[in-house]
Amino acid sequence: MIEIRKGQAPAPLTRAEFSARFRAAFFDPAFRVEDASIARLEEIAWQAYNEYRKSPLTQKAGPGYADPDYDLSSEWVATKQRIDAAQLRWADPASPSRVLLICGSARNDGSCPGEMSKTFRLLGIAREILEQADIQVDVLDLSLLISEYGRKIHPCKGCVSTAMPLCNWPCSCYPNHALGQTNDWMAEIYERWTAAHAVIIVCPVYWYQSPSALKLMIDRLVCADGGNPDPTATSGKNPGEAKALEMAGWDYPQHLAGRAYGLIVHGDVAGIEGSRRALSDWLDWMGFIDAGAQARLDRYIGYYEPYATSHDTLDQDGPVQEEARNVARAVAKA
């Protein structure tokens, strides 16, 4: 039997520590008139944490699962059903072509930056070409993480590194009501990736890498490459059973393989080639098919020029705009 290594996680929060974290969400003095109500809610949340009620609503797995009597999260089941339906739409030859256009910048004018991103403008250029080709376009703007109330993508917990079958497709780590890890946008995003026949990611470079909003999504898509679609096969999150299942032979199913992709990566000083290559390698690894050399673009916009005038620079950079159109044209023909 493989040894399961323990000893990293700290002790659970004390009641006082839990209270401080829970009440941080009610810092605004306007909440003081409801302190008694907040105290009652805090006690309910404390009990959920103390009893680890991760999935307060469950249902029997039913036919098609290794253990039909296992209690699955009702929220996970609903997400899985939507993904299965999206996969059927994707596979239907009569369904219209769909492209998921992803804005990977964290910037928009609805919060602190005060201005839209160049990424969003480049995405708009690509969108026009796709719509002219009668392709359905689904815009996923990851910058909403900074400007919409309650919009979250929780971080990947790394279950894959314990054993691949411990990672579920779709992810079953969230929501975790015991830990307050709810409102996870990925439940919707998995469905949108599944329904798409192609994906175009448009993003800037932040410190030689993808922006954190984009990277959060990328990490959470690990379950699409080898993830276990049956949590009952490992009794939920049982590391010992997951390790045994992997060692018995795991086929690492690629749940999103066969879709086409394009990339538009832009920067101002350095890192565009490495960032674009990392994204290409990731998508290739997951079984996506690049739409040709024209569909993999990395370009500087305003090389070593002021940030303040970078939108003006994009206005004047006709060649970059045309290359963005070419990415969309290549994907449309794929």
- Tell me the C-alpha distance between 90 and 200, whole Å: 16
The predicted pLDDT at position 1 comes to 83
Contacts of 241 (CB under 8 A, 6+ apart): 233, 234, 235
Residues for the chain: how many in total?
Answer: 334
Only one residue has tokens 């990947």, namely 156
Q: Is the peptide bond before 170 cis (omega within 30 degrees of 0)?
A: yes
Over the stretch 56-106, which tens digit does the pLDDT of each residue have? 999 999 999 999 999 999 999 999 999 999 999 999 999 999 999 999 999
Over the stretch 276-287, which tens digit does the pLDDT of each residue have? 999 999 999 999
**Residue 310's CB: how many other CB atoms inside 10 A?**
17
- Tell me the C-alpha distance between 162 and 174, whole Å: 17
- Tell me the C-alpha distance between 160 and 169, whole Å: 12
The predicted pLDDT at position 330 comes to 98
The predicted pLDDT at position 64 comes to 96
- Stated as kind and residue range, the H or E segment containing 98 is strand 98-103
- Stated as kind and residue range, the H or E segment containing 289 is strand 289-290
Taking the domain 74-333, which CATH number applies?
3.40.50.360
Residues of the chain with pLDDT under 50: none
The predicted pLDDT at position 202 comes to 98
Left (φ > 0), alpha (ψ -120 to 50) or beta: where does 266 sit?
A: beta
The predicted pLDDT at position 256 comes to 98
The predicted pLDDT at position 82 comes to 98
Q: Where are the domains of the chain?
A: 74-333
